[in-house]
Amino acid sequence: MKQILALAVLLLGGIIARAQKQISATSPDGQTKVTVTLSDRIYYDVESHGEQLFQRCHIGMTLRDRTLGEKPVLKGKKVTTVNETIAPVHPLKASQVANHYTLLTLTFSGNYKVEWRIYDDGLAYRFQTALKGDIEVMGEDGIWQLAAPCRLVLQQPGGFKTSCEEEYSVVASDQWKSGDRMSELPILVMGDRQKVLISEFDLFDYPGAFLQSCEGNAFAIIQPKTPLEYEDQGDRSQRILKEADYVAKTSGTRSFPWRYMLVTQRDGQLAENAMPVRLAPANAIGDTGWIGVGQTCWDWLNGIPFGPDVKFKSGINLDTYKYFVDFAARNGVGYMLMDEGWALDTRDPFRTNPEVHLPELIAYGKQKGVGIIVWLPWLTVEHHMDLFERFEQWGIRGVKIDFMDRQDQWMVNFYERVAREAAKHHIFIDFHGAFHPSGLDYKYPNVLTYEGVRGMEYNGSCKPDNSVWLPFIRNAAGPMDYTPGSMLNYQPEVHHGNRPICAGVGTKAFNMAVFVLFESNLQMLMDNPCRYDQWPDCRDFLTSVPVNWDETRVLAAEAGQYCVTAKRKGHKWFVGGITNSTERDLQLKLDFLPAGKQFTMTSFADGVNANVIAMDYLRQESKVGNSTTLSIHMARNGGWCCRIDLE
């Protein structure tokens, strides 16, 4: 009897083995391995540097009439290696990015493929279909199953309608319950040895993904349904009246978004991440020479100039905006952003506030070499898509579009329609009230930045304990409109100040360092010119910081604790470092500098009393070289930054 049972077990094992097919592929360095198992569905495991990270994850896509990935029948397998160099239009981290990966393409019966890229520092997968006509996607079967419990860093909204500005939550994976709030992307998986950043890219004509707990150390993709009927709510929002039962109706022949996992063994790799560049779609607009990245003045938080040089009544008027333009011109700042109030009615972009005299201001700015950007709610843009043609005639350079607060298929398509129409008329875009960057800014490089972050607009609730996560999570996904540069600074427990006199939480050195550390192709100077002129040494440093870089190196980092990063533009280096509510003492080696040369370093550090008086800072000049090791101190909620110039 025992022999019969043993034979039965062997036969059953053989049947299961034949029913399952395994395909493996490794990264170019052999350290990251993906194993795909085909049985009742498509499963995959991920191993990196000898550690199992994910196991029995599964993927699929449910259409109206079939499920891709269900009982998959493999028709073909192809493994190739790609090794190329990419030069991004707007190099947020580096002017040259290596794109070296193993490409695994699995072709299945039913006219679909799953494409995998396995990098030395991560992996990505996506579905590709070749189906006739349009298809209705009911949802995705995308499950991440962790191999072991760990901590998750999540951004958890109350629903699909969100501006993606929630504070981060650190949650134990085995304590995230199915009934708890979902999370936006990206999320950070915090293992003991390695960390994994999970996000999406190449998102077009398809809803953005959220993640929801499945319990048991697993989480799944969840997406908003496609809205069918809606009505305006005021000047900047919509009420959805009717939704489809599908998440997308789209072409049957297409590539779907990448689901990517950046796998890191040191935390600094998260902030150096180039995965978005490597997964990005091609530029669709051709010539980009007319697009000017750079810094901009801004009036929303601190728009009332005052002081001995202000001889006019400040407000939303021509004299005030000329004051901002004059400051920009004196300091090499390329733009002035006019927020709400420049138009007589937020619903009508063609009737300007007569106190502003917009044509005169645009001409004045052009004479001074300063371009004008204007703010609008997204509904106004939707109802007046011809405004880009008019704005081009007026001479406006860019538009800040606000309050989308959704990422269903309709809204994702709105973003692309706006980017395409604006590009036709040589206008760039800052998407505010937006979700995370997902590839649109590469297809349409006139999209310079996105909000989708708890930034300085939150005043006292924009705290360093939350902001210190940003280089590792939000900024790792793409450009971020954090609106930095406050000159009025408080420790969190004593912070006060609201429009028109807003202040930053954290020390002055913290608020200067984020100007180097945080990445955006359009970087805001959130404070008033009169306050910058009160601290000319700080002003001159901030206005000298580039927004695009040739090289980025993280010098010291621990996710959620501190981050110090060096960035090079040409022959100049800048370093920016911040910490959370714990003060730090760090040693920084400057061995990234060319050997045999001497440099002048201008640094800004927390003053001896910055733990209490956040305004306290120390500016120093010193000589440094390749063999220099710096000892830096950052107060609680503090920072440190410098510029290094070749003599």
pLDDT of residue 19: 55
Q: State which amino acid sits at residue 252.
A: G
Look up the CATH number of the domain holding residue 324. 3.20.20.70
* Domain final residue, candidates 245, 265, 285: 265
Taking alpha carbons only, the member of 135, 82, 122 closest to residue 105 is: 82
Has residue 599 been placed in a domain? Answer: no
pLDDT at residue 16 greater than cutoff 50: no
Q: Are residues 186 and 304 in the same domain?
A: no
Q: Cβ(187)–Cβ(154) under 8 Å? A: yes
Has residue 288 been placed in a domain? Answer: no
Q: Are residues 205 and 345 in the same domain?
A: no
Q: Are residues 234 and 323 in the same domain?
A: no
Kindly write down the DSSP assignment for every residue of 83-98, as one continuous string. Answer: EEEE--SS-SS-SSEE
CA 586 → CA 145, 482, 563, 565, 632, distances in Å? 37, 26, 11, 13, 5
Has residue 144 been placed in a domain? Answer: yes
Taking alpha carbons only, the member of 597, 601, 598 closest to residue 588 is: 601
pLDDT of residue 642: 98
* Domain final residue, candidates 525, 545, 565: 545
Q: Are residues 461 and 322 in the same domain?
A: yes
Q: Cβ(552)–Cβ(274) under 8 Å? A: no
167 is catalytic: no
pLDDT of residue 498: 86
Phi, psi of 278 (to 5 degrees): -75, -25
Partners of 137 in the β-ladder: 63, 248
Q: Which two tokens stand for residue 517?
A: 């550390």
Instruction: Report how far residue 384's alpha carbon sits from residue 90's, in angstroms, rounded to the nearest whole number.
Output: 29
Q: Are residues 259 and 304 in the same domain?
A: no
DSSP conformation class of 146: B
Mean pLDDT of 164-181: 96
Q: At what angle do helices 387-394 and 409-424 cross, to 10 degrees?
A: 30
Instruction: Report how far residue 361's alpha carbon sits from residue 357's, in angstroms, rounded to the nearest whole number.
Output: 6
Dihedral sign (CA 8, 14, 18, 23)? positive
- Give SS3 for 361: helix
Q: Are residues 314 and 221 in the same domain?
A: no
Q: Cβ(168)–Cβ(466) under 8 Å? A: yes
Number of separate domains in the chain: 2
CA 281 → CA 88, 197, 201, 563, distances in Å? 11, 20, 9, 30
Instruction: Report how far residue 574's alpha carbon sits from residue 643's, in angstroms, rounded to the nearest whole number.
Output: 5
Has residue 406 been placed in a domain? Answer: yes
Q: Are residues 357 and 447 in the same domain?
A: yes
606 versus 15: the higher-pLDDT residue is 606
Instruction: Report how far residue 22's alpha carbon sits from residue 17's, in angstroms, rounded to the nearest whole number.
Output: 9
pLDDT at residue 8 greater than cutoff 70: no
Mean pLDDT of 429-447: 98
Instruction: Report how far residue 277's alpha carbon sits from residue 283's, in angstroms, rounded to the nearest whole number.
Output: 12
Q: What value does the mean pLDDT of the chain take?
A: 96
Has residue 330 been placed in a domain? Answer: yes
Q: Are residues 35 and 117 in the same domain?
A: yes
pLDDT at residue 29 greater than cutoff 70: yes
β-pairing verdict for 572-579 and 562-569: antiparallel
What is the CB neighbour count within 10 angstroms for residue 519? 25
Mean pLDDT of 527-533: 97
Has residue 610 been placed in a domain? Answer: no
**Residue 127 CA to its chain's centroid (Å):** 23
Q: State which amino acid sits at residue 55.
A: Q
Taking alpha carbons only, the member of 615, 559, 556 closest to residue 585 is: 556
pLDDT of residue 145: 98
pLDDT, tens digit, 9 for 90 and up, residues 117-170: 999 999 999 999 999 999 999 999 999 999 999 999 999 999 999 999 999 999
Taking alpha carbons only, the member of 455, 463, 519 closest to residue 491 is: 463
Q: Are residues 215 and 316 in the same domain?
A: no
pLDDT at residue 1 greater than cutoff 50: no
**Residue 223 CA to its chain's centroid (Å):** 19
Kindly write down the DSSP assignment for every residue of 281-336, as one continuous string. Answer: PPPSS---TT---EEEEE-SSS----STT--S--SSSHHHHHHHHHHHHHTT--EE
Look up the CATH number of the domain holding residue 187. 2.70.98.10
pTM, full prediction: 0.95
What is the CB neighbour count within 10 angstroms for residue 527? 29
pLDDT at residue 497 greater than cutoff 60: yes
Q: Are residues 216 and 347 in the same domain?
A: no
pLDDT, tens digit, 9 for 90 and up, residues 501-525: 999 999 999 999 999 999 999 999 9
Q: Are residues 146 and 205 in the same domain?
A: yes
> Active-site residue among 402, 465, 481, 527?
402
Q: Which residues of 567-580 are buried (b: 16+ CB within 10 A; e: fewer)?
A: bbbeebbbbbbbbb
**Residue 77 CA to its chain's centroid (Å):** 34
> Active-site residue among 115, 457, 465, 606?
457
Instruction: Report how far residue 49's alpha carbon sits from residue 193's, in angstroms, rounded to the nearest whole number.
Output: 10
Q: Which residues of 200-239 are buried (b: 16+ CB within 10 A; e: fewer)?
A: bbbbbebbbbbbebeeebbbbbbbbbbbeeeeeeebbbbe
> By percentage, how much of the chain surpasses pLDDT 90?
96
pLDDT of residue 2: 41
Q: Are residues 298 and 221 in the same domain?
A: no
Q: Which two tokens stand for residue 431?
A: 């998407």
457 is catalytic: yes
Q: Cβ(467)–Cβ(514) under 8 Å? A: yes
Has residue 636 been placed in a domain? Answer: no
Q: Cβ(231)–Cβ(241) under 8 Å? A: yes
Place of tokens 């109206």: 64
Q: Cβ(344)–Cβ(355) under 8 Å? A: no
pLDDT, tens digit, 9 for 90 and up, residues 57-105: 999 999 999 999 999 999 999 999 999 999 999 999 999 999 999 999 9
Has residue 156 been placed in a domain? Answer: yes
Partners of 122 in the β-ladder: 119, 262
Q: At what angle do helices 358-368 and 318-330 cross, to 10 degrees?
A: 10
pLDDT of residue 93: 97
* Domain final residue, candidates 494, 525, 545: 545
Instruction: Report how far residue 162's alpha carbon sits from residue 280's, in angstroms, rounded to the nearest whole number.
Output: 25
**For residue 373, what are the domain limits?**
294-545
Taking alpha carbons only, the member of 286, 284, 201 closest to residue 478 is: 201
pLDDT at residue 17 greater than cutoff 70: no
